[in-house]
Amino acid sequence: MDSAIARGPELVPAGSPARRQESRLGWLTVAVLGVACAAIAPALLVFLFAEGFVFLLGDGAATLLSSRWFPTEGVFGLVPLVVGSLLVSLGGLALALPLGLGTAISLCFYLRGGPLRFAEAALGVLGGVPSVVFGLFGTFWFVPRFGPSLASGALVLAAMLTPTLALLALAGLRQLPAGLLLDGARLGLSREQVIARLALRAARPALMGAAVLALARALGEALAVEMVCGNVAGLPSRLTDPVRTLTTTLVQEFEYAQGAHGHALHLVALTIVLLAALTSAAAMRLAARRRA
Partner 1 sequence: MRAASFGAAFVVLAFFALLVADVVMRGAAELSPTYLFSAAEEGGRAGGIGPVLVSTLLVVLLATLFALPVAAGGALLCSELLVHRQAWKSLVRRSFEILVSAPSVAIGLIGWSLFGQLFGLGFSILSGAATLAFMLAPLMALAFLAGLEAVPQALRAQSLALGVSRWRTLLNLVIPAARPALVAGVMLAVGRAMAETAVLVLTSGISTRMPQDVFDPGATLAVHVYHLAHNLPGGEPRAYAAALALLLVSALVQLGLARLRVQEQPA
Chain positions 172 to 201 lying near partner 1, rule: CB under 8 A, are: 191-192, 195-196
Q: How far is the CB of 176 from partner 1 (least distance, A)?
A: 16
State the helix-helix crossing angle for 246-253 and 79-105, rounded to 10 degrees.
120
Determine whether 107 is exposed, middle or buried from the number of CB atoms within 10 Å of its CB (0-12, 13-18, 19+).
buried
Pick one of 227, 229, 233, 264: the residue that binds partner 1 (CB under 8 A): 227
Site mask for partner 1 (CB under 8 A), range 241-260, x = bound: ------x--xx--x------
HSE of 87, CA atoms in CB hemisphere, 13 A: 25
221 binds partner 1 (CB under 8 A): yes
Rounded to whole angstroms, how far apart are CA atoms 152 and 29? 49
Query: Comparing C-alpha atoms, which of 35, 10, 29, 5 is closest to residue 20?
Result: 10
110 binds partner 1 (CB under 8 A): yes
Taking the least distance from each CB to partner 1, the nearer of 8 and 179 is 8
28 binds partner 1 (CB under 8 A): no
Strand runs labelled E in 63-110? 69-70, 75-76
Q: Which of residues 141-170 bind partner 1 (CB under 8 A)?
A: 141, 159, 162-163, 166
Taking the least distance from each CB to partner 1, the nearer of 206 and 247 is 247
Q: Which of residues 269-288 bind partner 1 (CB under 8 A)?
A: 269-270, 272-273, 276-277, 280
Q: How far is the CB of 186 from partner 1 (least distance, A)?
A: 19
Taking the least distance from each CB to partner 1, the nearer of 62 and 245 is 245
Pick one of 189, 223, 260, 282: the residue that binds partner 1 (CB under 8 A): 223
* Pair 222, 244: CB distance under 8 Å: no
Q: Which of residues 42-81 bind partner 1 (CB under 8 A)?
A: 42, 44-45, 47-48, 51
Pick one of 69, 78, 131, 181: the residue that binds partner 1 (CB under 8 A): 131
Give, as one character, the DSSP assignment of residue 73: G
Q: What angle do CA 234, 225, 134 make, to 5 degrees?
A: 155
Rounded to whole angstroms, how far apart are CA atoms 190 and 211? 27
State the helix-helix crossing angle for 204-220 and 246-253, rounded to 10 degrees.
20
Which residue type, as a one-letter code, is found at position 155?
L
Among the residue ranges 64-72, 75-83, 173-181, 261-269, the one whose residues contact partner 1 (CB under 8 A): 261-269
Taking the least distance from each CB to partner 1, the nearer of 67 and 130 is 130
41 binds partner 1 (CB under 8 A): yes
